Amino acid sequence: MITASFLISLIVFAAGGTTEETIQQYRYAEHLFESGDYRAARLAYKRLLFYRPDTEFRDVADYRIAQSYYYQNRPERAEHLFREFLAVYPNSPFRFRSQLMIGQLHFDDGEYSLARTALFELLNSTEDIEVVAAAHYLRGWCYVHTSDWNKAIAELRRMDTLQTGAPHGKNARRLANMLFEKTPLPHKSPQLAGWLSTIVPGSGQLYVGSVKEGIFAAVLGGTFMYLVADAIRERRYVDGASISLIGCQFYWGNRVEAQRLASEYNSHRERELIEALKKSSGR
């Protein structure tokens, strides 16, 4: 039934040729897109372009087609079409939005440096206030994910000062305030943790807050030292050497473990803050 209706609409649209029919077809495609039916919208836009290749809505249709692939979780196809759009429509007002979407795609892939670069180039090429605000907001999130809190605050506040009435405007202000209040985060130095455990096994773990691991490392380290001293006292030098070899491996591992725990502590704090920011923004 759906296929039959689609074929009938194709025939009717092809038979017509008025500007009014073109506008109606464009509005129909926009309605499908805004309602979230991206596959049907994509077909409607393609049909419009097929029968009206010189339509004034050509750039909008191509942009929407690329967007529909993005919203249907087909990022590679979407990026290809957004880049193609920039080459085909260098003077279209939608070219800046295409650049913004390319930055978004890099962000989604976790390529935060590439995303920031793409958005920086965009900011230097447009004065479209909504695009500029969105670019600052996304750059702010890029800095959040790389734990560069001060730059994140600066980008979010730039967006807030633009006062565009954009949906992310209040979010930007709230996120910037949260970051200002909660940063810098509690930090444990992996280097210091390593040196502490080098001097006194287990002390680096205690410094990080891992009490059980610290006590275990201290007891085990003390046990090895006692066994080595006891072997030397009784002139069991071979045993002493064997125990020392095993103890050295533990001793070095104790240092590395303290550094790892410190790094994990810092990463955990960062993840907690990022999750709190996401929850606050509704991402």
> Does residue 2 or residue 74 have the better pLDDT?
74
How confident is the prediction for the chain on average, in pLDDT? 87
Which residues make Cβ contacts (< 8 Å) with residue 101, sequence separation at least 6? 66, 67, 70, 78, 82
Give the type of residue at 91. N
pLDDT band at 231 (very low <50, low <70, confident <90, very high): low
pLDDT of residue 37: 96
Q: What is the pLDDT of residue 236?
A: 75
Query: Around 70, how many Cα atoms within 13 Å sit in the side-chain half-sphere?
Result: 22
> What does the alpha-carbon distance between residue 174 and residue 224 come to, in Å, rounded to a whole number?
54
Nearest to 277 by CA among 185, 184, 178: 178
Tens of pLDDT along 16-26? 456 888 899 99
CA distances to 193, 201, 247 from 252, rounded to whole Å, are 13, 10, 9
Q: Which residues contact residue 209 at a Cβ distance below 8 angstroms, ignoring those fewer than 6 apart?
A: 188, 265
CA distance 264 to 213: 14
Query: Domain 16-182's class?
Result: mainly alpha
Residue 228 pLDDT > 90: no
Given a cut of 60, whether residue 11 has pLDDT beyond it is no
| CB contact set of 109 (below 8 Å; sequence gap of 6+) | 75
Residue 130 has pLDDT above 70, yes or no: yes
Q: What is the pLDDT of residues 35-83, one digit of tens each?
A: 999 999 999 999 999 999 999 999 999 999 999 999 999 999 999 999 9
pLDDT at 180: 95
Contact 258, 193 (CB under 8 A): yes
Q: What is the pLDDT of residue 95?
A: 95
- Domains of the chain, by residue range, sit at 16-182, 190-272
Q: Read off the amino acid at residue 101.
A: M
Its pTM stands at: 0.80
First-to-final CA distance of the chain: 38
Which pLDDT tens digit goes with each residue over 132-180?
999 999 999 999 999 999 999 999 999 877 765 666 777 888 999 999 9
What is the Cα–Cα distance from 200 to 218, expressed in whole angstroms? 7
What average pLDDT does this structure show over 92-108?
96
Region of residue 282 (left: phi > 0; alpha: psi -120 to 50; beta: else): left
Quickly count: other Cβ atoms within 10 Å of residue 123's Cβ: 16
